[in-house]
Amino acid sequence: MARSALELADLVRTGQVAARTLVETALRRVEELDPTLNALAFVDADRALARADRVRPGDERPFAGVPIVVKDSVAQQGLPCTIGSALFRSYRPTADSATVRRLRDAGFILLGRTTMSELGILPTTESRLTGVTVNPLHSDRTPGGSSGGSAVAVAAGIVPLAHGGDGGGSLRIPAACCGLVGLKPSRGRISSAPQAGDDPLVTEGGLTHTVADTAALLDVLAGYETGDATWAPPPARSFLSGARAGLQTRLRIGLALDPPVPADVHHDYLRAATQTAQLLEQLGHDVQPAVVPPLSEPTRQAFDDVWAVLAAEGVDAGGALLERPATPDDVEPLTWALYEQARSLDALAYRRAQAELQRAAREVVRAASPFDVMVTPALAQPPVPPGTITGWLAPDPLEAIARSDRFSPFTAVWNLTGQPAIVLPLVRDHDGLPLGVQLVGPPAGEALLLAVAAQLEEACQ
């Protein structure tokens, strides 16, 4: 779809386009494109059309009649929720997640559920359950992951925006690979109610074509849910109005080109970040070199341990659904290797890992604190070919984790700190393909981050 979600909602509201027309158009594009792209794990066509028929002109909900897809990791009552794994093939949640409820309350028409890597572990979208998902911009390269199906659905014009999740870059990496806007909100900004509680790394968000759509989607998804243990403080005004209001002050911008984990950064991504910093300087901001503290070996091991425990929780949950212990045949080799890694940890080791991550996070936040916004490359390498980072084809499955670090070393550190981070498609390579640039805001600083992103977006038009 060529128009933004906000524009489409306005067309429906004023009666210029029927919601059913938008949904039928999206379903036709699914039928035409998805056999090649493999972006959708499940299509809910009949219910989507029925809900579209109930939308009338004058509907004041912010996204009334606009089709959207959701990542196959959040609960929708009665629909398949595989989380990219055969272990959950038969899982049908008995209640909606708060995210799904908020999307429906905003008027979105939920069209289907998108492909992802198994349990969202890897930054590609290749699972043994659903196969390889194809990047619509260059079919011989990954669309990124784990929210790759969502990114493909937007980049291919099936829907104007999509839901996704981010535990180490899973929104920002596919945004960079597919030329989209991808925001990882602050920790606690979007509730995981009622199925889950606080998460040390993972949050939800969206993939869009515009900063305005990203801000408006955050307005829909953000906010306290009953019983949340922690939550980010609400903004002074809506994220959309803040993004549209513009910047009135000169900001301190830090340009950080060295990754916090060892990786060789491709010159195109260095150029993209540098050009973005130069543009910010031209827009009147003060740009200075910055350094993200390198993550020590103990910190990286702690991150791997906590990530393994998160994967193991998924394996145990799947086994509980099957009413038997999970086995290596139920999941991909990488998932099982992480499960065994997690089982080797005792409670004290896990608590020490959490404490180490919190210590390292404070160090990173302290280093970033002199700056209002940080600029970094989004990736270290161009999108890799399928099969390069996989949890089920490689002879040594844990090597996929090391390859992930070399591919996307700039993203996971901000899950560690909980700071908001956004990827923008501001610069292109010599073939015209997008080179993602990452902007990082202060803790709970989405309002400022979105305002800077909107200023850059406008300057590049």
Give the Cα separation of 208 and 128 in Å (integer). 27
By DSSP bridging, strand 161-166 and strand 286-289 are unpaired
Give the Cα separation of 324 and 170 in Å (integer). 30
Interior/surface letters 424-443, b for 16+ CB within 10 angstroms, e for the rest? bbbbeeeeebbbbbbbbbbb
Helix, strand, or coil (residue 326) = coil
Q: Which two tokens stand for residue 290?
A: 């910055």
Measured torsion, CA atoms of residues 299, 300, 303, 308, in degrees rounded to the nearest 10: -140
Residue 172 CA, distance from chain mean position = 5
Contact in structure between 191 and 223 (CB atoms under 8 Å)? yes
Contact in structure between 92 and 338 (CB atoms under 8 Å)? no
Closest residue by Cα to residue 428 from 271, 283, 266, 216: 271
Helix, strand, or coil (residue 65) = coil
Distances (CA, A) of 217 to 2, 62, 157, 210, 414: 18, 9, 18, 11, 21
Catalytic residue numbers, as ranges: 71, 146, 170
